[in-house]
Homo-oligomer: A and B are copies of this chain.
Amino acid sequence: MSQNKLSFSSDYMEGCHPKILERLMETNLDQTPGYGLDPYSDSARSLIRKACGAPDAEIWFLVGGTQVNAVVIDTMLRPWQGVIAPHTGHISTHEAGAIEYGGHKVLPLPAEEGKIRASQIQEYIDDFHNDLNRDHMVMPGMVYISQPTEYGTLYSLDELEAISKVCHDRHVHLYLDGARLAYALACPENTADLEDLARCCDAFYIGGTKCGALFGEALVFPRPGIVPGFFSMMKQHGALLAKGRITGLQFETLFKDGLYKEAGETAIRAAARIRQALIHNGYNLCVNSPTNQIFIDLNQNQYERLSDLVEMSFWENRIVDDEIHTVVRLAASWATKDEDVDQLISLLEG
């Protein structure tokens, strides 16, 4: 990686919010029990329950997003069930078959800008139950969505409530992947807060890895008792950290004094400025994302110019009017510096 070039290629390029390192230093030689039974984890759980308005929520700390997805889905589904997901969802595409490794089929629905609609879900589930061959097919037992989606888009509260209603009327779990949740919560366009997620979902996770932590995700079951055996399932999946305190401490720090939201706001502000500058300079934003990820459809000249200025993520090639276009992603994060955004904007205008 070049040291001299600006990089907006992803939101997990840095370590963690400095306040987390401070707390690790302060507590380093404290002796605590392992496996999440320590006081920092307890304190983090209290803070998250409060933020979610869910005083009885069951909360677990895991290491990474694919891991959370695999353990939750494998634990909540019965062996004859599968999980409905957007065809662009992380579990559909980029988890190397982690869900299938657990024995479950991902049932993809065509997504638009990363999102699926309540009506699609309803139709899929009802079609399944009306199919004479349904016992030869995989029963949908859960719906997986992410907020923000892999394309940076958001489900509105209305959309989320509609999906929740479809699921619960049909006894299907709703699970929400919040790997980048800080960037939804901090976004002015967002209408679904943590309390809404706790009300609408049977399980969701609050992402740490991409939102200011060294690593770690906080899994929330808003209504306790829904998942017997979860601790053992974490162990069985290799997802139980011996020094659980380290994840607990990070979430305690993120949920004290509003740090989690603050981390999100830094990224949202930076992304908004970059977005404006891109539009101003004639770039074509190709997804209507209001969060920390910016997708740009570039023609050959634009691609060459922009990729000289800044590290980005390649997304895909497209053919537009017989010409190859390249879609790239710029990502801002909790760590994005104002001066780097300034520099990018001046380069764009240069």
A interface residue numbers (CB < 8 A to B): 1, 7, 10, 12-16, 18, 21, 24-25, 27-34, 63-71, 74-75, 78-82, 93-98, 100-101, 103-106, 132-133, 135-139, 209-210, 214-215, 228-229, 231-233, 235-243, 245-246, 314, 335
Contact = CB atoms under 8 A, between A and B. Distances in A.
A242 B80 contact: no
B335 A29 contact: yes
A210 B15 CA distance: 22
Contacts of A239: 67, 238
By Cβ-Cβ distance, the 8 closest A-B pairs, closest first, are A67-B238, A15-B28, A96-B235, A80-B232, A13-B31, A80-B229, A96-B236, A97-B138
Contact of A21 (B25, B71, B241): B25
A28 B104 CA distance: 38
Contacts of A82: 97, 100
A31 B6 CA distance: 10
Contact of A29 (B15, B93, B240): B15
Identical chains in the assembly:
4
A63 B241 contact: yes
B28 A235 contact: no
Given A29-B14, A67-B239, A136 B80 contact: no
25 contacts: A1-B32, A13-B32, A14-B31, A15-B29, A21-B28, A24-B214, A63-B238, A64-B242, A70-B238, A80-B229, A81-B229, A94-B133, A94-B137, A96-B138, A96-B233, A96-B236, A97-B103, A97-B138, A100-B100, A101-B103, A103-B103, A135-B232, A136-B235, A139-B229, A214-B243
Contact of A28 (B16, B27, B69): B16
A68 B238 CA distance: 8
Given A10-B34, A74-B79, A66 B28 contact: no
